[in-house]
Every structure is written in structure tokens, then in C-alpha cells.
Amino acid sequence: MSNRFVASMIRSRSLVTAVAVVLTVPVLGAAQREVDPAFDVVSVKPNVTVNPMAAIQLPPAGVNAVNVTPYLLIRYAFGLPDSQIVDVPEWAKRTRFDVSAKAPASAVNEDVRPMLRTLLRDRFKLVTRRETRPAQVHLLTRDGDRPLGPRLTRADGTCPQDVSANKSGALSGDERCGLSIAYGRVRGGDVSLSELAAGLTKLTGSSVIDRTGLSGPYNFTLDYTPDAVALDRAAPNGFPNIDPDGPSLATALRDQLGLRWTTESAPVEVLVVVRMEQPDPD
């Protein structure tokens, strides 16, 4: 994950929410909480601007979240899509805050999410539990006996194993390894199709499962027109690289990668918000 920037861009409530990286995190018990990592200094203040843009930035040794809802903080802290977070209070989806937090000097990137979960528990009194509930999930499968699409080719497996698999925006010409996700485009270099499914989970906010049966690394580029852009032709003003007349995600997967996009009901583990409270501002 980039150490500089993980952003959620919210152009309108109905248009787009994009959040990086899927990470399943167990809810910690009381004994474990005594050693939860925490920020050294935290500031939480209401944001009363009308700016629709929100961002979570990761400067060195800290977090700077501007104009964010508690719901967005939960999504980032637990690394889950919308469909796997339930019973969130309505105020937590609407009320916005500026959150600034400084981490201990010894903290590393992997500490940020656990520290943010501690912040949510301490300042927003967040209590959660895990449950398995039936839900609609999307499946990636082979499209019958059709060959793979022209934009999906087997990779040679020469990329380093520890390459970052969650970049934002397009990969540059000399950065061919890893998974890059952006609104309307997904590009993979030497990655598995399960990583493609994970990237689509982030972009769609719904669980996506790889059932292609294809193992090994692949290279691919997927360009599609998100539903919000197709429905609101003014939307490309904020996203100039998206063709409003382009293919839907399902059509792009079929024609460009040779994969099917289907939906079924399946048991899914979800994070249930049991309780949370509005924080006292600093």
C-alpha cells in the first residue's frame, strides 16, 4: 500500500466511493485490547463545510482524514466493502469530521489500521461483532468454452513476490507489476485473478469471488463505464478518462477478459456495528 495516499473520493452520495485494500481483521477481545496499538495524539473535530470531497491521507507516522464520515473510517480501518458492514447508524453515514492522529515514532505502516480501530473504539465508542449472513455476491467465472479475452494473457511470473498489489491510478510504463485500481479501470501485471476479484470488491463495494479456476499470474487491462457515469452524463467532468458511452463492467469483463460476471446468494461474514456514539470534539 502506498505510504503517501489512500483516498476516498466522494463526488456525491449516489456517485462514487472508492476505498483501497481488502483486509479481514478479527474483532479483539478484552484481554487483547490491553496491547492494541494506539496513536500518541488524536484530534477529532466536526467538519461543517459543504465540500463533497473526502480523503484519508497517510503522512509519515500518522493519519490525516479530512471531511470523512465515521462510516468511511470504519471501512478503511477494517478493510471491508460496504456490503460487509451492517447496522451502521445513519448519523455515522452523514456527519463529517476532520481527524488528525500522530503515531509513535516506532510505528510502521501495518500499525495504521489497528491504531485507527483503537481510535474508533476510544473516541466513537465503537463496538462490533462478526456474524455470517446471507448476501448477494458477485462471481467471476469462465465464459463457457470461449477463449480468454484479448486483454487477459498469462504472465511470465518474473515480478518480485513482495511487489505492492494495491496501487491507485494507472501503472506507469516501467511499473508493470502489481494491481492498479482506479474508477473505471483495473490493470494487473503478474497478478492472480483472485487479486482482480479483490480489486473489483473495492471498486464496487460488494463481495466478488474468483471462481474462474485459473491459477497462476496474469496480465490484464479492464476499462469500463461505472453505472453512475452512464446514468449521469455530467459525471465525466470529474473523471475525464471515463467514456460515458463505454461498456458496463459485465460487458467489459466478457469482451475484454473473456470472463462472466454473475450474482448469487451466499453466506458472507459481516461486521455488525453494535454501538457507536458521536465523539466529544477537541
Asked if pLDDT for residue 20 goes beyond 50, the answer is no
Distance between CA 74 and CA 146 in Å, rounded?
41
What is the per-residue pLDDT for 236? Answer: 54
Distance between CA 47 and CA 7 in Å, rounded?
17
Distance between CA 90 and CA 173 in Å, rounded?
44
**Average pLDDT of span 255-279:** 95
For residue 234, what pLDDT band results from cuts at 50, 70 and 90? low
For residue 281, what pLDDT band results from cuts at 50, 70 and 90? confident
Distance between CA 187 and CA 201 in Å, rounded?
14
What is the per-residue pLDDT for 89? Answer: 97
**Average pLDDT of span 195-207:** 90
CB burial class (10 A; 0-12, 13-18, 19+) of residue 64?
middle
DSSP string for residues in 41-72: EEEEEE--------EEE--TTEEEEEEE-HHH
Contacts 24+ apart (CB under 8 A), 9-17: 9/53, 9/54, 9/55, 9/183, 10/52, 10/53, 10/54, 10/72, 11/52, 11/53, 11/235, 11/238, 12/52, 14/228, 15/228, 15/232, 15/235, 16/183, 16/226, 16/228, 17/72, 17/82, 17/205
Between 276 and 231, the more confident residue is 276
**Average pLDDT of span 265-271:** 92
Asked if pLDDT for residue 168 goes beyond 60, the answer is no
Asked if pLDDT for residue 123 goes beyond 60, the answer is yes
Asked if pLDDT for residue 177 goes beyond 80, the answer is yes
**Which of 186, 230, 217 lies closest to 16 in space, CA to CA?**
230
Backbone angles phi, psi at 57, to 5 degrees: -105, 150
What is the per-residue pLDDT for 156? Answer: 87
Asked if pLDDT for residue 4 goes beyond 90, the answer is no
Q: Do β-strands 259-275 and 208-210 pair in parallel, antiparallel, or remain unpaired? A: unpaired
What is the per-residue pLDDT for 162? Answer: 56
pTM: 0.66
Backbone angles phi, psi at 19, to 5 degrees: -135, 140
Distance between CA 120 and CA 115 in Å, rounded?
9
Tell me the CA distances in angstroms from 144 to 55, 259, 262, one per residue in order: 41, 9, 13
**What is the SS3 assignment for 210-269?**
ECCCCCCCEEEEEECCCHHHHHCCCHHHCCCCCCCCCCCHHHHHHHHHCEEEEEEEEEEE
**Average pLDDT of span 102-129:** 93
Asked if pLDDT for residue 38 goes beyond 70, the answer is yes
What is the per-residue pLDDT for 137? Answer: 92
What is the per-residue pLDDT for 193? Answer: 96
**Average pLDDT of span 177-187:** 89
Distance between CA 256 and CA 85 in Å, rounded?
31
For residue 77, what pLDDT band results from cuts at 50, 70 and 90? very high
